[in-house]
Amino acid sequence: MELVKVTNIGLKMSDDTVIPVIRGVIRDYATNISQVDANSLMYEIYTRSMGMASTCSYYTSDRNAFVFNGAVSGTVTHGDNTGFECQRTMWGSGTRWQQCDFTGIWYLGTKVAAAPVFTGYSTYEYCYAVILTDENYNLIYSTGVNKIVRGIQIRSSENLGITESNDMCIGSISQSGEYRDIQPDWILTTGPNIFNYITQEIDPTLTDPYNPGGNTGDDETEGQGGTGDFDGTSDPVDFPNLPNLSAVDTGFITLFNPSASQLKSLANYMWSGLFDLDTFKKIFADPMDCILGLSIVPVNVPSGSSDTVKVGNISTGVSMTKAASQYVSVDCGTLNVNEFWGAYLDYSPYTKAEIYLPYVGTHPLDIDDIMNKPVHVKYHIDILSGACIAFVKCGDSVLYSFIGQCSSSIPITGNDWTNVINGVINIAGAVGSMVMTGGMSAPMAIGQIASTAVNSSKPSVEKSGSLSGTGGMLGVQTPYMILTRPRQALPAQQNVYTGYPSFITRTLSSVSGYTEVDRIHLENVPGTESELSEIELLLKTGVIF
């Protein structure tokens, strides 16, 4: 039996909700089937009993019995992928544990083919409670279970401290000494008739969902295409960690986090007679060479120990708090961008999104990246250089990274002053340019513009230039999202007059109301050729069932 990974399967409950299930573990409980709790849901399972006779009927909460194969006792079926295999009858008393992996679609009153699992037990048990877990043993659903112990392979003689009648071990226990773990990659193959009750989308679990395919290639015996792996999994990309190495660890630089009064004290010292220039000149030419920079940063500088500031190894007597780290992280929190309509209008190109990031500016985002996802913004900042990077995490992955400059330099020399002013001038030159993109090339028909045309015809206007340094400090300090949504004109009961987009295959007797057909192969209609053509034309232009 080939084991292949199955996805998009579910367990259909009595209220028609569907729970995605990867595997389940059945707890067997030695009790008479008629004593089953009427409120518990029981599901038939696939078991291959390795040559042992077994029977029973399992009941759902509404007491609809699934009598497998009509057998009452002593019937075992092996390797039958078209139906349920045997269940187990009660034998003796006491509690027995049985591990079963199963998968497939369970629909009340309908059996769906799924492959059996193996067991190595020599006892007979009823199924009483169901525990369904994902492949990481996280509980999805359970009934009749109080306590769960996970991932253990034991023998029945081992004491797990399970004492309550409804306790459950997700693992494998055997009376006979045979046991197997639930392996993470054990997911059963399913038969060819699996139908995904959750959606009517193509089922990627099928070996070839396009089968039977047509012949479009050179090989007349096989169809072409449709052989992708249908792997829709995604790896999360989290925020990176701050760098491990810091300038403050080198000893060549000391970063202080002074208060305003402490800075004043230092300035007073530097310009006072207390500063021994003669001693300093033996080592340096200009004392200001030792002051590498003074800036304002918009973060709480991580505090280290307190120390006396030394300029050129000369103690100034001014005490300041050292910065404990060169790098700081600022978490701006998460914003949930939710659909407004729950329709295609919520997505590109109809809805647009931009994000304003302090010390970065305004940037467009792809609305498809953020819709229905939490959007999390976090900054990593280097307080030494003032460089910052803003991460935008959409869902579970960082999709956008924008670089900015968040420190405002305070000039302490004439050169510093010139550099600061020049920097501001350069930034100002980039601000204020209105960039217009987007098509306004062709005149638009008045009054008959579909939604697709409206947004694409509007110009895109840049809402900010680079907001770095002092400019950023003067700007808005909280990130925000700018969403541009179309304003829909929806007449009452539009679905009655025009229908809404559908694109499903249905028997026409199952639909009611206004219907437009995309494709149909008319069969068993005893009309003339012109009548058939008229029928097809009418169906495609819209009829009312």
Contact set for other proteins, span 365-424 (CB under 8 A) = 377, 383-384, 406-407, 410
Report yes or no: 341 and 351 within 8 Å, Cβ to Cβ.
no
> Are the CB atoms for 188 and 6 separated by under 8 Å?
yes
CA 391 – CA 400 distance, rounded (Å): 6
The reply on whether position 158 binds other proteins by CB under 8 A is: no
For other proteins, the binding residue among 169, 270, 337, 394 (CB under 8 A) is 337
**Least Å distance between CB 205 and other proteins?**
21
Nearer to other proteins by Cβ, of 72 and 538: the residue is 538
Helical ranges in 9-156 per DSSP H: none
Binding to other proteins (CB under 8 A): which residues in 452-491? 452, 454-455, 458, 473, 476-490
- Shortest CB 227 distance to other proteins, Å: 24
Binding mask 253-272 for other proteins (x = CB under 8 A): xxxxxxxx--x--x------
Does 521 sit near other proteins (CB under 8 A)? yes
Q: Give the number of other Cβ atoms within 10 Å of residue 253's Cβ.
A: 14
500 is a contact residue toward other proteins (CB under 8 A):
yes
**Binder among 65, 277, 343, 461 for other proteins (CB under 8 A):** 343
Instruction: Report, in Å, the least distance between residue 249 CB and other proteins.
Output: 10
Which positions ≥6 away from 18 have C-beta within 8 Å? 10, 11, 12, 197, 198
Residues 89-148 that bind other proteins (CB under 8 A): none
Segment lying near other proteins (by CB under 8 A), choices 19-27, 130-138, 217-225, 510-518 = 510-518
| Pick 204 or 486: Cβ nearer other proteins | 486
- Asked if 310 interacts with other proteins (CB under 8 A), we say yes
Smallest separation (angstroms) from other proteins to the CB of 202 = 14
CB of 9 to other proteins, least distance (A): 21
Nearest to 545 by CA among 479, 475, 496: 496
What are φ and ψ of residue 257, in 5° steps? Answer: -120, 80
CA distance 289 to 136: 59
Q: Examine residue 335 and tell whether it contacts other proteins (CB under 8 A).
A: yes
To which H or E segment does residue 378 belong?
A: strand 373-382
Residue 437 touching other proteins (CB under 8 A): no
Q: Which is nearer to other proteins, 46 or 256 (CB)?
A: 256
Number of residues that bind other proteins (CB under 8 A): 120
Angle at 73 between CA 68 and CA 79, to 5 degrees: 55
- 211-230 binders of other proteins (CB under 8 A): none
Closest approach of other proteins to the CB of residue 302, in Å? 10
Residue with tokens 């920079």: 293
69 binds other proteins per the rule CB under 8 A: no
Indicate the residue among 123 and 455 with the shorter CB distance to other proteins: 455
Facing residues of 267 across strands? Answer: none
Q: Is 301 in the site for other proteins (CB under 8 A)?
A: yes
Shortest separation between residue 186's beta carbon and other proteins, angstroms: 34
Of residues 36 and 383, the one with the C-beta less far from other proteins: 383
Distance of closest approach, residue 226 Cβ to other proteins, in angstroms: 18
3-state secondary structure of 66: strand
CA distance 39 to 61: 5
Euclidean distance between CA atoms 543 and 545, whole angstroms:
7
Closest alpha carbon to 144 in 25, 9, 299: 25
How wide is the angle at C-alpha 184 spanned by C-alphas 182 and 189, nearest 5°? 85
> Any idea how long the chain is?
545
Longest dimension (CA), the chain: 115
Q: Per rule CB under 8 A, is residue 319 in the interface with other proteins?
A: no
Query: CA-CA distance, 255 to 320, in Å (whole number)?
Result: 10
